Amino acid sequence: MTIMKDTILEVRELRTVFPTRTGIFKAVDGVSFELKRGKTLCVVGESGSGKSVTARSILQIVDRPGRIEGGSVLLTRADGSTTDLAKLEPRGREIRDVRGKEIAMIFQEPMSSLSPVHRIGTQIGESLRIHFGTPKHEQRERVLELLRQVEIPHPETAIDRYTFEFSGGMRQRVMIAMALACNPSVLIADEPTTALDVTTQAEILDLIKKLQQNHGMAVLFITHDMGVVAEIADEVLVMYRGKVMERGPVEQIFHAPQDAYTHRLIDSVVRLEKKAELRLARPAIPEGTAPLLDVRNLSLTFPSGLKAVDDVSLTVRPGETLGIVGESGSGKTTMGRCLLRIYDPQAGTIDYRRPDGHMVDIRTADKAALKKIRSEVRMIFQDPVGSLSPRKTVGQIIAEPLKIAGMKGRELNDRVADLMQQVGLEPAWRERYPHAFSGGQRQRIGIARAIALKPRLIVADEATSALDVSLRSQMLDLMMKLQDELGLSYVFISHDMSVIRYMCDRVAVMYRGKIVEVGETDQVVNEPAHDYTRALLSAIPHPDPHNRRIHNRFRYKAGRTA
């Protein structure tokens, strides 16, 4: 090997714009950075900060009508020659030779980023054919080798399968194999772990690290998760509205941020690292309080034979927040829906204490009883876009449950205005439609709708997962404020341990339909009793670059205890 220059890619004053009806939107506005061999640069920022567009500008694959307006992207090759990628014709031969061969990219959604009708072997082998004209049988050999590198089990059969036959984590491995096919010198990863569970995320991060060390690639890693940044970054670029706010080594960003925005960003992450002040100050709920909700031996088996909820027992006391944590597929959402009888569980009891003191079993309640219970037990959903009708104004959305309960006229209007104020929305906005609101505001609308009927229990299903981290703590604070004002109880379903720790009094850990551990949040987080909980906790990226731990995490093998 000859001695090579350290800097492989140098981006100078890059500007990418999207012409719109009202003018020109500057998605990337004068961004500069360098990518060095074997090093990882993390680009962080909230949604809409332009980090994805920056990455796509490098390869000139920005979606239309976006275009690069200025700046340069200098790629230095092993032989010392350099090319300015920003000057190349986007559809031309030269830039195509760089794509996939010298700079490869992996994307956020491994499901939709791969074609569902082509075998994965074909999709991986394609880059070899395009760039080297590799014949079919050699292609297959190389693809098998790549599949082995990314640790996909049984590569010989996996190569002829389709993407939908794989889990999310395996699909992302396929993406990585595809990116590695031509031994690129730069790997751009655009939120590659955002759609994955924490444990799968930890595995993928491990894999990228390992491959980076083996191949000496430079990695540009885009993420909004500061925990991930702390775990993997050498250097960090903080972006906000298309501009670079701060750039520096990872220690500086976390421990001595220079810029006010970085400060705020780090603060909002660190805030979620401990219990909310609001909760620390609150007196504990007395031990002997009679439960509001008492679930015993609840089981639900889907017609496919999948035991989604398997003998689950838990209690929720008045004024308490019970967290349900687990990976996707653990049955936590299904369980939450059973509590409102959206699904019909086959066995067990869901005893709910009505305001007059007597208990009703929600599982066997008849229609009339269920209707009453559903005005007292409400739900908040994950997706703040999909759960609000785009054809109704905000006022109508919030008024809907009230109307069903028979409220009308002036009383209804006043109540809607009150509710909007309560969740921090201007009552004057009631005539607007949901699309006019940001993600955080939409989730507030969902909360206003949920509390409209003065419920006693709210099942919040991943209520903050779709929000940026800076909005997340605001939303949780709002929910706790409402809890104290209205005497609410929450069942808070989340895959995010930091959110659970921030607001929940007690937490139940779910794994494959079963609850493996329940306890006070502090105790479960600090001294987990079950191995699975320990594995889950150790896979969570920790927002402190001094304390990188997911590479040495504790791994839980299913079946060892089951």
Q: Which is nearer to another protein, 14 or 380 (CB)?
A: 14
List the one residue out of 455, 295, 459 whose CA is nearest residue 361: 295
DSSP state of 312: E
Cα separation, 106 vs 169, in Å, equals 13
Q: Which is nearer to another protein, 107 or 492 (CB)?
A: 107
Q: Which is nearer to another protein, 73 or 420 (CB)?
A: 73
List 5, 13, 84, 115, residue binding another protein (CB under 8 A): 115
CA dihedral 303, 307, 313, 319 (to 10 degrees): -70
Q: Does 105 bind another protein (CB under 8 A)?
A: yes
Smallest gap, in angstroms, from Cβ of residue 196 to another protein?
A: 16
Burial (Cβ within 10 Å: 0-12, 13-18, ≥19) of residue 326 = buried
Cα separation, 42 vs 541, in Å, equals 14
Q: Which is nearer to another protein, 91 or 154 (CB)?
A: 91
Q: Which is nearer to another protein, 175 or 451 (CB)?
A: 175
Smallest gap, in angstroms, from Cβ of residue 43 to another protein?
A: 17
Which region among 15-23, 104-112, 314-322, 504-512 touches another protein (by CB under 8 A)? 104-112
List 45, 50, 66, 100, residue binding another protein (CB under 8 A): 100
In the shown chain, the binding pattern of residues 28 to 67 toward another protein, with x for contact by CB under 8 A and - for none, equals: ----------------------------x--x-x-x----
In the shown chain, the binding pattern of residues 232 to 261 toward another protein, with x for contact by CB under 8 A and - for none, equals: ------------------------------
List 99, 271, 332, 472, residue binding another protein (CB under 8 A): 99
List 101, 171, 353, 495, residue binding another protein (CB under 8 A): 101
Residues 117-146 binding another protein (CB under 8 A) are 117-118, 126-127, 130-131
Smallest gap, in angstroms, from Cβ of residue 107 to another protein?
A: 6
In the shown chain, the binding pattern of residues 12 to 31 toward another protein, with x for contact by CB under 8 A and - for none, equals: --------------------
Smallest gap, in angstroms, from Cβ of residue 355 to another protein?
A: 47
Phi then psi for 201, rounded to 5 degrees? -60, -45
Q: Which is nearer to another protein, 122 or 438 (CB)?
A: 122
Cα separation, 200 vs 188, in Å, equals 19
List 84, 165, 484, 527, residue binding another protein (CB under 8 A): 165
Which region among 73-81, 95-103, 368-376, 389-397 touches another protein (by CB under 8 A)? 95-103
Q: Does 109 bind another protein (CB under 8 A)?
A: yes
Which region among 113-121, 140-148, 340-348, 444-452 touches another protein (by CB under 8 A)? 113-121
List 14, 44, 175, 339, residue binding another protein (CB under 8 A): 175
Cα separation, 525 vs 273, in Å, equals 11
Residue 353, SS3 per DSSP:
strand
Q: Are strands 218-223 and 186-190 parallel, antiparallel or unpaired?
A: parallel
The angle formed by the CA atoms of residues 393, 399 and 403, to the nearest 5 degrees, is 130
List the one residue out of 422, 384, 386, 380 whose CA is nearest residue 401: 380
Q: Which is nearer to another protein, 96 or 243 (CB)?
A: 96
Cα separation, 301 vs 126, in Å, equals 42
Cα separation, 472 vs 356, in Å, equals 35
Other residues' Cβ atoms within 10 Å of the Cβ of residue 415: 17
Give the bridge partners for 490, in sequence order: 321, 458
Q: Does 152 bind another protein (CB under 8 A)?
A: no
Q: Does 164 bind another protein (CB under 8 A)?
A: yes
Q: Structure tokens of 34?
A: 């360098």
Q: Does 112 bind another protein (CB under 8 A)?
A: yes
Handedness of CA 364, 369, 371, 372 (dihedral sign): negative
CA 135 distance to own-chain centroid: 40
Q: Does 308 bind another protein (CB under 8 A)?
A: no
Q: What separation, in Å, do the N-terminal and C-terminal C-alpha atoms of the chain show?
A: 51
Smallest gap, in angstroms, from Cβ of residue 349 to another protein?
A: 36
Q: Which is nearer to another protein, 100 or 155 (CB)?
A: 100
Q: Which is nearer to another protein, 100 or 331 (CB)?
A: 100
Q: Which pairs with CB-CB distance under 8 Å and at least 24 residues apart come from 306-309?
A: 307/512, 307/513, 308/334, 308/335, 308/513, 309/334, 309/335, 309/338, 309/345, 309/513
Cα separation, 480 vs 522, in Å, equals 18
List 36, 96, 341, 548, residue binding another protein (CB under 8 A): 96
Residue count, binding to another protein (CB under 8 A): 31
Q: Are strands 307-316 and 235-240 parallel, antiparallel or unpaired?
A: unpaired
List the one residue out of 326, 334, 343 whose CA is nearest residue 309: 334
Cα separation, 368 vs 499, in Å, equals 36
Cα separation, 106 vs 85, in Å, equals 19
Residues that bind another protein (CB under 8 A): 56, 59, 61, 63, 91, 96-101, 104-105, 107, 109, 112-118, 126-127, 130-131, 162, 164-165, 175, 178
